[in-house]
Structure 1
């Protein structure tokens, strides 16, 4: 039997800070000279003039193309055609996780370099060597894996502070799962997204993300409500983006993200942020593990105070939605998904029971701690 391979992967450079966007051209110039910028109209309205001026000063020619809501196969293929027709040597994804994932996917297929420029700290997607591909309706299709991470990840903390606080809350939900899933992957010695077994480094970075979030989340959220950049916000951005990104990719995914992928198939959850659905996966994973009551209580209290869902009600479902919950569980347990990194066998039946269990469990903890009752989520139509 061959010796297990352990590996860590990471972006070529990570840049974060207030006003970092003014340095984008200087960093991109080290990577390419003809750029395709992928950004929706809203994001371009916020940063377009600044980026255009900065790229001009650095001698970078560019074209900006708009972007829809999801990284779909068709959206990626359209970007590849743009790259091929325009002699582009670097693609820059500006905005949220899907725009960045589409840019990464197109850059890989076209054989050029790629850059991630998140304008919110809502997911850990920007740093990774993978993309999540969805249907036009937002249902999960597949992970696409690439041979390397972005050449550059740049995030301007002031843009994060200027964005609605809901984006940062979603990022916390995505990042909290990182330690829970890396811990499970370490226990089972399963393979990570990096293509090997987890290293001590990957697992430790996942735990560091968890610790920094718990220390800084509430102060950082208050700062964003006033559009201020504080040390607490800088710490939380790094935890949500860099540490969670490195931690999930080189530490391992498990049940939480697999259950998220399953939840995208339930129409009742459409419109919810990635991190909101991941948080349901996290609490369900804790139930699957038989985690200590104190750990589950702490998780429910913390996520309720942050503003994340931890009941079915808050994602538009109920314990009576047997057909939908069964479909979610079967999708989460597909042979290709990461739920099989858990240190025990997980079946759709176990997932359904865990999802149903979180309703009464979270409600009782919230009532005991004097926290708000769940509010029913209504998906937009």
Structure 2
């Protein structure tokens, strides 16, 4: 099969770079829809306006869920206002919505994450949820964002939980890509892995283990250090390229399974992915010392290692089986694993990780 690697057209990262946002959009148009989550409008409206001072801007508040209803609402607005470029500013669901709107409207898109909580910014993918927050489907897009711009000064001011959540999402990157390299499962663009993608995924994991704790401590002080820059890049760029061109396997499928339990809805995407990554490692029968390393890392930075950490106070095997069944439906990425997977296997691994995490 043909090897394929895809990436954003341009990636920009650094302190204060949001001031240059308008300049980076010059090639795409003058009339901008800036879709912002409520926190951005509350805390960073002045910075957004300053960065887009050379554009004709319509600021619009995101309603909080990356649902088809919200995408349709914004698509109508884009057409009515004759928008030329869509910019998403905020967290993962805001960004996924901006990408979906730009796709349906046939417009370029700029992505400005204000937290380093997921690998969503760089991808040619939007995760669509129901209006109640339950995973519904992946929307695969024909191209990656035209621009991804990350202001690390803004990221460092966000609650540290978001940076840690991004580390949880990034934690899965190498292990899922590694599983796909064995099965030669197709990656997101439909090819197999380049050695570049495989090595970026490994670099992502190595960066987390080496710099994750130091970056967390720096962000707790609202400081931007080299460790923070490295972890923001790992969470955003390395994880984005690694999962997309490396492939997805069990961890993200199990995450999707956990969304059926209301108790987990208060947990972030990355928090659920971190626990699900350990579940994948147990399913694979990885060496105990590796599983211990991952669990130790999660505990050090504050990622879930038990079901209680995920909000599941009382363990009900029927509920865990529902998670496992949702994780292993026919078209889920869990079937990219190098062995046959069924719901019972997933359930047992989920319960085993809970015990290991304790």
1: CA distance between counterparts of 2:331 and 2:88?
A: 27
Unaligned runs of 5+ in 2: none
State the partner residue of 2:140: 145
Secondary structure in 1 matching 2:325 = helix
Q: Return the offset for 1:40.
A: 2.2
2:325 pairs with 1:312: no
Please say if 1:43 is aligned against 2:49: no
* 8 Å CA contact retained: 1:7, 1:195: yes
How large is the RMSD of aligned CA atoms in angstroms? 1.1
Instruction: Choose which of 144, 152, 162 in structure 2 pairs with 1:157.
Output: 152
Q: For structure 1, list consecutive stretches of 5 or more residues without a partner in the other structure.
A: 364-381
Measure the CA separation in 1 of the matches of 2:311 and 2:42: 33
* CA–CA separation in structure 1 for the residues paired with 2:103 and 2:161: 31
Which residue pairs with 2:179 in the alignment? 184
Give 1:50 shift: 2.3
CA contact (8 A) 1:25 1:51 kept: no
Contact 1:319 1:356 in 2 (8 A): no
Equivalent position to 1:28, from 25, 28, 31:
25
Q: Does 1:86 align with 2:84?
A: no
Name the residue aligned to 1:285: 280
Separation in structure 1 between the aligned mates of residue 245 and residue 74 of structure 2, nearest angstrom? 28
Runs of 4+ in 1 over 3 A off after TM superposition: none
Specify the alignment match of 1:367 in structure 2. Answer: none
Which residue in the other structure is 1:373 paired with?
none
Q: How does 1:1-381 map to 2 (within 5 A)?
A: 4-56=1-53, 58=54, 60-317=55-312, 320-363=315-358
8 Å CA contact retained: 2:19, 2:50? no
Match of 1:375 in 2: none
8 A Cα contact 2:267 2:311, kept in partner: no
> How many residue pairs get matched?
358
Q: Normalization by structure 2: what TM-score?
A: 0.98
Structure 1 residue 318, shift from structure 2 partner: 6.1
Q: Given that residues 95 and 113 in structure 2 are in contact (C-alpha distance below 8 angstroms), is that contact kept between their aligned partners in structure 1?
A: yes
